[in-house]
Amino acid sequence: MRLIADGLITKEIAARLGIAYETVRTHRNNAFAKLGCNTAGGSVARWLGWRSQE
Protein backbone atom coordinates (compact mmCIF):
# COMPACT_ATOMS: atom_id res chain seq x y z
CA MET A 1 0.00 0.00 0.00
CA ARG A 2 2.88 2.37 0.66
CA LEU A 3 3.94 2.28 -3.00
CA ILE A 4 0.36 2.85 -4.13
CA ALA A 5 0.12 5.73 -1.64
CA ASP A 6 3.31 7.13 -3.17
CA GLY A 7 1.47 7.26 -6.51
CA LEU A 8 3.09 4.33 -8.29
CA ILE A 9 1.04 2.36 -10.78
CA THR A 10 1.03 -1.44 -10.93
CA LYS A 11 3.64 -1.60 -13.69
CA GLU A 12 6.01 0.68 -11.73
CA ILE A 13 5.55 -1.33 -8.53
CA ALA A 14 6.34 -4.56 -10.36
CA ALA A 15 9.53 -3.06 -11.82
CA ARG A 16 10.64 -1.62 -8.49
CA LEU A 17 10.08 -4.90 -6.64
CA GLY A 18 11.36 -7.10 -9.47
CA ILE A 19 8.20 -9.20 -9.62
CA ALA A 20 5.61 -9.90 -12.31
CA TYR A 21 2.90 -7.38 -13.12
CA GLU A 22 0.22 -10.04 -12.51
CA THR A 23 1.63 -10.75 -9.03
CA VAL A 24 1.32 -7.08 -8.08
CA ARG A 25 -2.14 -6.92 -9.63
CA THR A 26 -3.31 -9.95 -7.62
CA HIS A 27 -1.96 -8.61 -4.31
CA ARG A 28 -3.33 -5.15 -5.03
CA ASN A 29 -6.81 -6.53 -5.78
CA ASN A 30 -6.73 -8.69 -2.64
CA ALA A 31 -5.73 -5.70 -0.51
CA PHE A 32 -8.47 -3.56 -2.05
CA ALA A 33 -11.04 -6.29 -1.32
CA LYS A 34 -9.91 -6.62 2.31
CA LEU A 35 -10.18 -2.86 2.74
CA GLY A 36 -13.62 -2.87 1.12
CA CYS A 37 -12.64 -0.52 -1.72
CA ASN A 38 -12.11 -0.88 -5.42
CA THR A 39 -10.10 2.28 -6.08
CA ALA A 40 -6.54 3.16 -5.16
CA GLY A 41 -7.58 6.41 -3.50
CA GLY A 42 -10.24 4.81 -1.32
CA SER A 43 -7.97 1.95 -0.35
CA VAL A 44 -5.09 4.24 0.58
CA ALA A 45 -7.42 6.42 2.66
CA ARG A 46 -8.70 3.38 4.57
CA TRP A 47 -5.18 2.00 4.97
CA LEU A 48 -3.92 5.32 6.34
CA GLY A 49 -6.88 5.49 8.74
CA TRP A 50 -6.20 1.95 9.92
CA ARG A 51 -2.48 2.68 10.41
CA SER A 52 -3.19 5.80 12.47
CA GLN A 53 -5.22 3.69 14.92
CA GLU A 54 -2.25 1.49 15.81
Tens-digit pLDDT string for the chain (54 aa): 889 989 999 999 999 999 999 999 999 999 889 888 888 888 888 888 866 666
Q: How far apart are CA 40 and CA 10, in angstroms?
A: 11
Judge contact between 4 and 44, C-beta under 8 A: yes
pLDDT at 54: 60
pLDDT at 40: 83
Neighbours of 43 (CB within 10 A): 21
Q: How far apart are CA 38 and CA 28, in angstroms?
A: 10
pLDDT at 16: 97
pLDDT at 20: 98
Domains observed in the chain: 2-52 (1.10.10.10)
pLDDT at 52: 67
